[in-house]
Amino acid sequence: MLISVLLIALTYLMPLFGAIVFNSPNWTTWDDGSFSSIASAIGSTVLSTWIMLASFGSNAGMYIAELFCESFQIMGMAQNELAPAIFKARNKRFNTPHNAVFASLIVILILIELDFSDVVNMTNALSAYYQMLIFAAFIKLRYTHAELKRPYKGTLTVLFGNSACV
């Protein structure tokens, strides 16, 4: 495991060190796409093309991994009757939740048209609502299931715990 972490760190640090040593353009002026400019200055268009292809492959891999993680979560929600049953369907050949993949893809295609700052604001608002929902569930379960055995005991009163959540 330690070797994996070190190798992953080196895959980021080695190109970074090479670009800093070359220092054209100056590292203080780097922006999005600077590595392909540096690669073009160091090794002509061939190295720049390889950098862009590697970046494309990396981004595609992260996108596909995220898409399938979300799709399997949607399928799990459908299996627990928290989402429509249509999302339970799996592809016969690949055993993937194809309806959930298409639903995630539709949402992503809608969101991709928005400005990035709008998506960040929307994500922050949804995260805040999510945290409020967790606190509301905590308060509700504290009253409706007060007799449950818990692995710990809070020293404060229920009223103080509820007011701390608010």
Looking at residue 154, its pLDDT comes to 66
Counting residues of the chain whose pLDDT is more than 90, the rounded percentage is: 31
pLDDT 10s digits, 111-155: 889 998 998 999 999 999 999 888 888 778 877 887 888 777 666
Identify whether the C-beta of residue 67 lies closer than 8 Å to the C-beta of residue 80: no
Domain ranges, ordered by start, for the chain: 117-166
Identify whether the C-beta of residue 25 lies closer than 8 Å to the C-beta of residue 37: yes
Looking at residue 61, its pLDDT comes to 92
CA-CA distance, 152 to 162, in Å (whole number)?
A: 17
Segment 12-40 shows an average pLDDT of 77
Identify whether the C-beta of residue 162 lies closer than 8 Å to the C-beta of residue 136: no
The average confidence (pLDDT) of the chain is: 85
* pLDDT tier for residue 108 given thresholds of 50, 70 and 90: confident
Looking at residue 102, its pLDDT comes to 92
| CA geometry: angle 51, 54, 26, nearest 5 deg | 30
* pLDDT tier for residue 42 given thresholds of 50, 70 and 90: confident
> Can you give the pTM of this predicted structure?
0.61
* pLDDT tier for residue 12 given thresholds of 50, 70 and 90: confident
Tokens at 149, concatenated: 């055995």
Residue 159 clears pLDDT 90, i.e. is over it: no
Tokens at 131, concatenated: 């945290």
User: How far is CA 109 from its chain centroid?
Assistant: 16
